[in-house]
């Protein structure tokens, strides 16, 4: 920019710049402020939604503990909410189904949780589903479910359950390998006892 000799030239240059760029500056400011307020509104709505889901979740858990229309309340909650709260309710329903001897319903709820975006809940549901498959005598299906679990923190438990499956199949060497792998990952006296009790 040239050096201005008078104040009038400087004022004229500012006016010219404003005429050339004023609309863009105002438009940019409006868009920026709109985006900022829009984001804040969105965040507030998300927080409110999560708070309501949390309150509803606690009500459902209370209803399930009191057995007062537990299943219908829980099913309604699952229909109205998504995400981890719905998955946690489905895990509770699966547990209640197992306690009532209804393994088919338990498996249905667990399969629903398997598709959760939460890797921890998905792995938990998959592990429990494998145990149900074992209970029903579907050992190959149980192994297939266990092979879906890739979360490192589950490896010791997965290997221990694979050992149980191999033992049921009469595959003593496979059971020994699985139990040994489980103990190497995490010391567990129960698994150690199973390993020690294997036929030589």
Kindly give the confidence (pLDDT) of every residue in the chain, 200 residues in length, as a single tens digit, with 9 standing for 90 and above.
455 567 777 777 777 787 777 777 777 777 877 777 777 777 877 766 777 666 666 666 666 666 645 566 666 666 676 777 788 888 888 888 888 888 998 999 899 889 888 888 899 999 999 999 999 999 999 999 999 998 899 999 999 999 999 999 999 999 999 999 999 999 889 999 998 988 87
DSSP, residue by residue, 135-191: HTT-HHHHHHHHTT---GGGHHHHHHHHHHHHHHTT-HHHHHHHHHHHHHHS--HHH
Ordered domains of the chain (ranges, CATH): 20-148 (1.25.40.10), 151-200 (no CATH)
> Could you give the dihedral angle defined by the CA atoms of residues 118, 120, 121 and 124, in that order, rounded to the nearest 10 degrees?
150
Q: Which pLDDT score is estimated for 73? A: 64
DSSP state of 83: S
Distances (CA, A) of 70 to 47, 57, 83, 159: 27, 12, 20, 35
**pTM for the model:** 0.64
Closest CA to 111 of 96, 124, 98: 124
**In this predicted structure, what is the pLDDT of residue 44?**
75
pLDDT value at position 3?
54
Structure tokens, 44: 């507030």
Report the candidate in 72, 73, 64 with the shortest Cα–Cα distance to residue 99. Answer: 64
Q: Are 129 and 107 in contact (CB under 8 A)?
A: yes
Residue 68 is predicted with a pLDDT of 47
DSSP H stretches of helix in the chain? 7-66, 70-80, 84-99, 103-114, 119-135, 139-146, 155-168, 172-185, 189-196
**What is the pLDDT at residue 146?**
93
pLDDT the model gives residue 157: 94
């Amino acid at each position: 920019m040239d050096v201005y000799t008078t104040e009038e030239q400087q004022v004229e240059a500012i006016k010219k710049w404003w005429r050339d760029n004023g609309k863009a500056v105002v438009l940019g400011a409006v868009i920026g402020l709109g985006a900022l307020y829009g984001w804040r509104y969105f965040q507030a709505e998300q927080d409110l939604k999560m708070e309501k889901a949390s309150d509803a979740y606690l009500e459902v858990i209370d209803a399930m503990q009191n057995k007062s229309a537990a299943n219908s309340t829980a099913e309604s909650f699952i229909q109205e909410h998504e995400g981890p709260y719905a998955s946690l309710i489905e895990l509770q329903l699966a547990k209640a189904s197992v306690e009532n001897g209804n393994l088919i319903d338990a498996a249905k709820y667990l399969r629903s949780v398997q598709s959760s975006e939460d890797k921890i809940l998905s792995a938990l549901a998959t592990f429990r589903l494998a145990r149900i498959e074992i209970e029903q005598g579907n050992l190959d299906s149980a192994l297939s479910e266990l092979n879906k679990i890739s979360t490192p923190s589950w490896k010791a438990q997965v290997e221990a359950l694979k050992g149980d499956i191999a033992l049921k199949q009469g595959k003593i060497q496979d059971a020994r390998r699985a139990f040994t792998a489980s103990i190497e990952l995490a010391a567990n006296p129960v698994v150690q006892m199973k390993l020690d009790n294997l036929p030589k």
